Amino acid sequence: MIADLFSRRTADNEKSPLETDWILQRERAVAWVRLAFAILAIVAIQLNPSRVARFPSLSVISLGSFLIFSLIALYITWKHRLASNRFGITTTSLDVVWVALIVYATGGTRTPFFFYYTFPVITASLRWGVKGSLPVAFAGVCAYAIMRVTLAAEALANPLGIDTIVVRSVYLIALGCIFGYVSEFEKKQNQRLLALSKTAAQTAVLDERRRIMFELHDNILQSLATLILRIESCRGRLPESEREIVDELKGAEALSRSTMQDIRAFLAGKSLETLPSGMLIERLRDELKFLRDGLGLVVVLECNPENLTLPQRTEHEVYYVLREALTNVTRHSHATHATIRLRQEDNRLFCSLIDDGVGFEQGQKLGKSGFGLSGMADRIKQIGGVLLIESSPGAGTKISFVVSLAS
């Protein structure tokens, strides 16, 4: 029964951070109590050495090793923050063995340390409820009964009566039942509190999203709608001979409408459309064409091989990083030329963007960069890479990163 119970493993990585922290605090408390029991046993024996007169060597070994085990368990829970189900199974099993050994060495059924059996029973109930406390209680009862039958650790005087043994055994089992049921009740209450806390957090998120939705609707979305109307008005008043300007205004109008749709979809909790697979290079060329024809910025795209084969997530993040970087070039660098290099080699993607702009002092600029550079770094980090920025006043800027494609 014990083997069946202790072969069960729980998915610790599925626990919430709050629950994980609570379990860690519980294990630390158990470790401190275990250490206190170990020290108390040694002090009690020092005050009454006759308790170990029959098995002095075994007593020293059992008490000393239990103290060392208690210190190690406390160090693990405190220093390494280990509180897994496997750790609980191991420490509970060792507690049962050590308590039985201490009881055996200090007088058998006449030991003053019988109540030490309650320690693994209580800790098992805290961890697994009745399913944990009862098997541990039965294990303690069996060990205690074996000492009574064999009389191997008894003093020369007559052993305790069978009625005393039965009462102590019933007491241990009853204690396991009581603490087990109390622990299960407490665990259910904690789960309800966690569920209520999660629901309250979700409600708060929805309320905040609704507030942001109204704020955006009353400000940004209305401003975009007004911008679209003004673009339509300007396009209607232009003669057909100004075909290029008309086309640009149509493009600006379409982009504004698309932006409004994306904002509304985001506020409704929907996922925004990602970059279609295999469209990275084509989208980049469209961006570069606009920069050349509309803003006079010449950007050279070097790609090796010409047809990159990238995971869709990588394509998506790389595209938005490069688009943000190009936006920064047009807004801040005053550059006339830039070069984008993409190279796929040995399951890795090497990428760099170099411009001939005014550059900047990195320490000052990065501290005031807002969401731009930090957002680019976060995107690259999410796909397993690191963003590097090299720049100095008057020497242009280089942004580069390497991303693994193995996954």
Query: Does the residue 320 lie in any domain?
Result: yes
Alpha carbon 241 to its chain's center: 60
195 or 329, which is more confident: 329
Number of domains in the chain: 2
Strand, coil or helix: 262? helix
Which ranges of 217-311 does DSSP label H, i.e. alpha helix?
222-237, 243-267, 280-290
| 294 and 183 housed in the same domain | no
* Bigger pLDDT: 292 vs 244: 292
User: What mean pLDDT is predicted for residues 144-164?
Assistant: 60
Does residue 67 sit in the same domain as residue 173? yes
Asked if residue 303 and residue 173 are part of one domain, the reply reads no
Q: Are residues 54 and 190 in the same domain?
A: yes
Same domain for 192 and 73, yes or no, is yes
Structure tokens given for 349:
């993607």
58 shares its domain with 185: yes
Task: For residue 79, give the amino acid letter.
Answer: K
d(CA 219, CA 252): 19
End position of a domain, from candidates 185, 200, 215? 200
Sign of CA dihedral 166, 172, 173, 175: positive
- The strand order across the sheet containing 397-404 reads 298-304, 337-345, 348-355, 397-404, 386-391
Mark whether 50 and 161 lie in a shared domain: yes
Q: What is the pLDDT of residues 231-270, one digit of tens each?
A: 777 777 777 667 777 777 777 777 777 777 777 776 666 6
Instruction: Please check whether residue 259 lies inside any domain of the structure.
Output: no
Q: Give a yes or no: residue 123 inside a domain.
A: yes
Tokens of 20: 């994980």
- For residue 2, pLDDT over 50 is answered with no
The pLDDT value recorded for residue 261 is 75
Please check whether residues 158 and 60 belong to one and the same domain.
Answer: yes
By residue range, what is the domain housing residue 328? Answer: 280-404
Residue 160's CB is within 10 A of a number of other CB atoms, namely: 15
391 close to 397: Cβ distance less than 8 angstroms: yes
List, for residues 94-117, the tens digit of each pLDDT value.
888 888 888 877 776 667 777 788
Within a domain: 160: yes
Report whether pLDDT(198) > 90: no
Last residue of a domain, one of 145, 166, 200: 200
Segment 313-341 mean pLDDT: 87
Task: Name the average pLDDT for the chain.
Answer: 77
Kindly state whether residue 274 falls inside one of the protein's structural domains: no
The values of phi and psi at residue 301, to 5°, are: -110, 115
Whether 98 is in a domain gets the answer yes
Identify which has the larger pLDDT, 315 or 23: 315
Q: Is residue 214 part of a domain?
A: no
Residue 398 bridge partners (DSSP):
354, 390
Q: What is the pLDDT of residue 355?
A: 92
Residues 20 and 127 in one domain: yes
Q: How confident is the model at residue 301 (pLDDT cuts 50, 70, 90)?
A: very high
DSSP string of 359-393? ---HHHHHHT-TTHHHHHHHHHHHTT-EEEEEE-T
Kindly state whether residue 191 falls inside one of the protein's structural domains: yes
The CATH number covering residue 394 comes to: 3.30.565.10
Are both 181 and 292 inside the same structural domain?
no
- Do 145 and 7 have their domain in common? yes
Domain-terminating residue out of 170, 200, 230: 200
194 and 287 both lie in a single domain: no
